[in-house]
A and B are shown apart, each in its own frame.
Chain A
């Protein structure tokens, strides 16, 4: 039997760290507050039960094959409440995840992918710099989904946006109007949204965004985008007799 004491990192549980602190300029209390916010989410207890450190999640994980990324490390850091490492992951790792939920096959019934959803959400809500960086170039998609109620429009298919999808993208964009009219389902006769969403429906969607703190999250992540979306919503809602 070994008489050597385990490393301090494994004995000082919770709150111990095994990571080099790469974000020294951020106060421990601030990092802890973010972690408390993650834990306060109703879904958290369903996503983390502990961790066997078996690596089954890593074996299933597409992002682990491509990036320096590990769902096992995410689960372990969360289970140990390693505040420094969690903060580092919240900044540097979570945006690599594909959100495929292959890691749900965890024998401990964890959902590392679900934990990542929560970590991302807290990162956005608190306007973390790396969350803003991750969302750069993504604003037009957020704008599309929040203002039209659909995420993908046919007119997004432009050769400069999808050069790697081959020459057919250009063919599609050149013929877009006629090709869309060549679709038998009537709801698909649009080039600006995935399908035609009624005005009444959009108003209801805007009310949901306004009543569920989503607009505050957008403001933290991207102030300019927040203003543009709010403008569109205000105009529609005011025309319909609502006051914001």
Chain B
């Protein structure tokens, strides 16, 4: 129950009509891009078939490729919570999807840009275009792991479409790299792939999640930047909030624990998480975790971006030391879905990189985490003794 009397759960609000794309208040950026392509200004990389169609905020249709995807990894996921990226790849492998995990990829560099401003529009668009061109050269379509890369690339694509001067400068730099100026037809976030695949993921579910209450944190850069490109669904929150993440949580049979500060950010702050963490810690715990606990008492927080998992998870240790009302594990939708499909909690989901105690959650999911950890320790022993160089995908799924 909420203690905030002004908060009305969306389930109590009458369902508004499904939006008509004809009445969208913004232009369809894809139309602008096709025109620029016809004028020879740039190349638009098309979404490969087969794709799944989903609805975005103003009722337009977005194509989500099933496979032939070029996985644009995330700095924070790969660096500090690598079970996030590993789970995304594991899900793709479970469905036999053809994908590339490239070495020819840089960061979008937007975390640094939003933290330090030591860059500019031309450099940011060139970094994006270099990555897009690298994907295009392989014939695989960019699948963006990071919410900030996704948001920043949506903005960058908009800027490239609208500003000839920027296009000319970026095309010139791409020319120096012997690369074309190419932009994807859709900017696709991995959580959109999970959303589009949610029924198929649920069909392969091996654990019962009906007893699990999950609070959702929608990532700011997913739906607040170029808002019209995010997935909305009339059957989820009456189409009034983004459907991404909530869709998969509901499909897996868990209960969504709604709370009043869902719109608030996590407190990541880009520069704050690295050099002013007093802000991040306070905001994450006092405006998110404590409110969730008070209003929904969830078993887990599910979100879909690097910074959100990091901030919401890691901030709880210091708050606990101050006897605050915290202590909720934080996972990405990819990790949650992977666990539901029977992924190993350490070999695949790599929960040992997370800070907040998750063992009660695993027990509620029916996972024997002590047995799983013992298995993982055997793997670690083999690695330490150099009996194996790396843990392979086959090792990860060994029974």
Chain A residues packing against B (C-beta within 8 Å): 41-43, 46, 60, 62-63, 65-67, 95, 98-102, 104-105, 117, 120-121, 123-125, 131, 134-135, 137-138, 141-142, 145, 149-154, 156-157, 162, 164-166, 168, 171-172, 175, 178-189, 193-198, 200-202, 204-205, 207-209, 211-214, 217-218, 221
Contacts and interface: CB of A to CB of B under 8 A. Distances in A.
Given A42-B166, A154-B80, A187 B103 contact: yes
A178 B78 contact: no
What secondary structure prevails in chain B residues at the interface with A? Answer: helix
B220 interface: yes
B80 A186 contact: no
Contacts of A189: 390
B105 interface: yes
A213 B121 CA distance: 10
A123 B86 CA distance: 39
A202 B74 CA distance: 17
A66 B220 CA distance: 18
Interface string B332-368: 0000000000000001101011110000000000000
Contacts of A124: 116-118
Contacts of B396: 184
Contact of A164 (B116, B179, B318, B379): B318
A28 B229 CA distance: 42
A153 B77 CA distance: 10
B371 interface: no
B383 A182 contact: yes
**8 closest cross-chain pairs (CB), A and B:** A152-B79, A166-B317, A120-B117, A149-B106, A212-B123, A100-B265, A98-B269, A99-B114
B109 to A, nearest CB: 6
Interface stretch (B46-54, B182-190, B230-238, B276-284): B276-284
Contacts of B283: 62, 65-66
B177 A207 contact: yes
Contact of A145 (B90, B103, B107, B282): B107
A82 to B, nearest CB: 22
Contacts of A182: 347, 376, 379-380, 383, 390-391
Contacts of A181: 383, 389-391
A38 B310 CA distance: 33
A42 B118 contact: no
A141 B117 contact: no
A237 to B, nearest CB: 12
A165 B314 contact: yes
Contacts of B107: 145, 149-151, 194
B177 A204 contact: yes
Interface in B263-318: 263-265, 267-272, 274-275, 277, 279, 281-283, 287, 314-315, 317-318
A63 B272 CA distance: 10
Residue in A183, A196, A213, A217 whose Cβ sees the most chain B Cβ within 10 Å: A183
Contact of B281 (A62, A100, A164): A164
B12 to A, nearest CB: 22
B355 to A, nearest CB: 5
Contact of A188 (B86, B263, B282, B389): B86
Contact of A194 (B78, B165, B314): B78
Nearest to A157: B80
A134 B269 CA distance: 14
Contact of B115 (A138, A183, A197): A138
A186 B14 CA distance: 49
Interface stretch (B28-36, B126-134, B198-206, B241-249): B126-134
B263 A212 contact: no
Contact of B348 (A178, A184, A187, A205): A184
A195 B77 CA distance: 10
A165 B112 contact: no
